[in-house]
């Protein structure tokens, strides 16, 4: 596991193939960083499916409304259409490129509609620069991300087993 410099702004995501450590970029996208920590601390990301995984592009997850089998609103047909019970976030665009391993905020056509969903880039996707908020980067465990089942949606989607803020992990 990578050295964690700022536990309060680091996410520990457990997948079936390993642990992924994500450095959140609070100085670049403070609202998106805070939202991810709030949802992680509430356990909202635990057991949420990767509902859209495109080879050579990205893996999308974070629909805490429809993609969590334990949610009363669980509906695999609607996975990817939901968010959280918190308000949408304004875009926090920056000069950071969508490089391999970066986290981007998923949204609708409205740039200010990001909520709980995010994606992890499998490769450099610079055509997304300036259109989607970058608010984190994988600092270790990218090999586990690379093994996430592909599909839109995958036949047997992989899930985030647990998502924790590093400062909260004993």
CATH number at residue 65: 2.40.100.10
Inside any domain, residue 156: yes
Q: How far apart are CA 132 and CA 108, in angstroms?
A: 10
Count of alpha carbons within 13 angstroms of residue 66, beta-carbon side: 13
For the ranges 1-5, 11-15, 23-27, 109-113, the lowest mean pLDDT is seen at 1-5
Handedness of CA 163, 108, 139, 6 (dihedral sign): negative
Of 57, 111, 129, 48, whose CA–CA distance to 84 is shortest? Answer: 48
Is residue 137 within a helix (H) or strand (E), and if so which, with residue range? strand 134-140
In the chain, the number of structural domains is 1
Q: C-alpha distances in angstroms, 92 versus 32, 81, 112, 134, 135? A: 8, 21, 9, 8, 8
Write out the residue range of the structural domain in which residue 151 sits. Answer: 7-168
CA distance 151 to 19: 22
Taking the model in full, what pTM does it have?
0.94
Residue 31 lies in a domain: yes
71 lies in some domain: yes
On whether residue 145 sits in a domain, the answer given is yes
Residue 19 lies in a domain: yes
Per residue in 37-74, pLDDT (tens digit) is: 999 999 999 999 999 999 999 999 999 987 776 776 77
| Lowest-confidence region among 15-19, 76-80, 127-131 | 76-80
Q: What is the pLDDT of residue 78?
A: 66
């Amino acid at each position: 596991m990578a050295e964690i410099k700022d536990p309060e702004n680091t996410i520990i995501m457990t997948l079936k193939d390993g642990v992924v450590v994500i450095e959140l970029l609070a100085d670049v996208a403070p609202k998106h960083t805070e939202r991810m920590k709030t949802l992680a601390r509430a356990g909202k990301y635990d057991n949420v499916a990767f509902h859209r995984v495109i080879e050579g592009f990205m893996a999308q997850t974070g629909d805490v409304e429809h993609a969590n089998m334990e949610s009363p609103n669980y509906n695999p047909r609607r996975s990817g259409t939901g968010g959280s019970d918190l308000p949408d976030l304004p875009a926090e665009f920056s000069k950071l490129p969508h490089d391999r391993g970066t986290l981007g905020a998923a949204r609708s056509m409205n740039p200010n509609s990001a909520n709980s969903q995010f994606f992890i880039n499998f490769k450099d996707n610079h055509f997304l620069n300036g259109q989607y908020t970058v608010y984190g980067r994988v600092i270790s465990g990218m090999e586990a991300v690379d093994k996430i089942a592909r599909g839109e949606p995958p036949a047997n989607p992989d899930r985030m087993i647990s998502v924790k803020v590093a400062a909260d992990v004993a």
